[in-house]
Amino acid sequence: MKRKTFYTDGRGFQITFNNGICLSTQFSGFHYCSNRAGIELIQTESYSSNDAEVAVLDKSGDFITKRAYRGAFDANLHDDVDGYVNIEDWYKLLTWCKEQK
C-alpha cells in the first residue's frame, strides 16, 4: 500500500515525498526529544516540542537515516533514528529528502 503524503498517529507526523522517501518526525513522551519521559504517555491534548526524533525511510520502508545524514550534514550517524533534532537541522533533512531522485 502506498503511503499517504502526510500521516500522523498522534505522536508526531510523517511526510512522504513523490520520490518515495519518508521523513518521520516524532515528539511524544516516548521519543528522543525534550518531551521524553521514557514511557508512552496517554495523551489527551496536543503535543508540542522544541525538538524531535527523526528517521528517514525509503519507499520500501527501510531506514536510510544514515545515508540522509551523510548527504545533508556530511556526518556519520550511528543509529537509524536521531533525537533532539532542532528545527534548522530538521529543515536540512526535509530538503535532502525532497531533492533525492
User: What mean pLDDT, rounded, does the chain reach?
Assistant: 87
- pLDDT value of residue 53: 95
35-76: pLDDT as tens digits: 777 655 555 566 778 999 999 999 999 999 999 999 999 999
Least confident interval from 1-5, 76-80, 88-92, 97-101: 1-5
Residues 6 or more apart whose Cβ sits within 8 Å of residue 27:
11, 12, 33, 35, 47, 48, 49, 51, 52, 53
Q: What is the pTM of this model?
A: 0.86
